[in-house]
Amino acid sequence: MKPAHIIRVLPLCAVLLFTGCSGNAPEKTDTGSGNTAIEQQASKLIEPCDLITAEDAATILGEAVKPAEKSEKQVVGMKLCMYNAQSDSMEFLQVTLTQDAFMQPGGIPTASIYKSLKDNFEGMRTDVEGVGDEAFISTGGIYIMSGGYYIQIGAGNTSNETVRNRLIEAGKMAVAKLNTLK
C-alpha cells in the first residue's frame, strides 16, 4: 500500500477501532476536559465538502484537483471529502467531519471521539493555537474540535513543514466556514 493511502486510511481506522472497542455507550459521557466549548453537541448536519471546496483545495495544494470523492460512516457520525491532484503529484487534501447530528442513536459523542484520539496521541502530537476550540497535529493530519464538530484534515506527511502549514491553513479555513454554516 502506498504511504499516501496509509495516511488517508489511518484516521478512519482509528475512529472505527475506537468505536469497535467501546461496547455500549453510556447515557451521559464525561470527557473530563472541563471545557464546555469542546463538550457541546452540534445539531446541524454539515457536509465536509462545504468546509473546503474543490477551489479551496486547489488553492491550498497549489494545483488543480479532481472532483471530490465522498464517503460516510454513520455508525461514527463521519463524512469524508477527498480531493486528489489532477496531476500525478500524489498531492491530496482529505477533510473528515464527525458530527453528532449524523451519528446513529446511542453513538459515542463527537467530543468523546476527539478526546480519545487526542489522548492516544499524547507525546506524539503538536498542539495548535488559533484553530477551532482545540487542535493538534499528529500522524494523519490536523485534528480540530470546534463548536461540537470534530474535523480532521490530512494532506500528507506531517513531518514535512510545508504539509504542516497547509494543514493549519486548511484548518483555519474549515473552521471559518463551519462557523458560517452552523
65-118: pLDDT as tens digits? 999 999 999 888 999 999 999 999 999 999 999 999 998 888 899 999 999 999
Which pTM does this prediction carry? 0.79
pLDDT of residue 38: 47
CA distance 147 to 131: 11
Domains belonging to the chain, first-starting first, are 3-19+39-181 (3.40.1000)
Nearest to 97 by CA among 147, 153, 142, 56: 153
Report residue 54 as a C-alpha cell.
474543490
pLDDT of residue 9: 44
pLDDT of residue 41: 52
pLDDT of residue 104: 86
Which long-range contacts does 117-126 make (Cβ < 8 Å, 24+ apart)? 117/14, 117/15, 117/18, 117/143, 118/143, 120/14
Angstrom distances, CA of residue 81 to CA of 70, 96, 128: 5, 6, 23
3-59: pLDDT as tens digits? 444 444 444 444 443 444 443 333 333 444 444 444 455 568 999 999 999 999 999
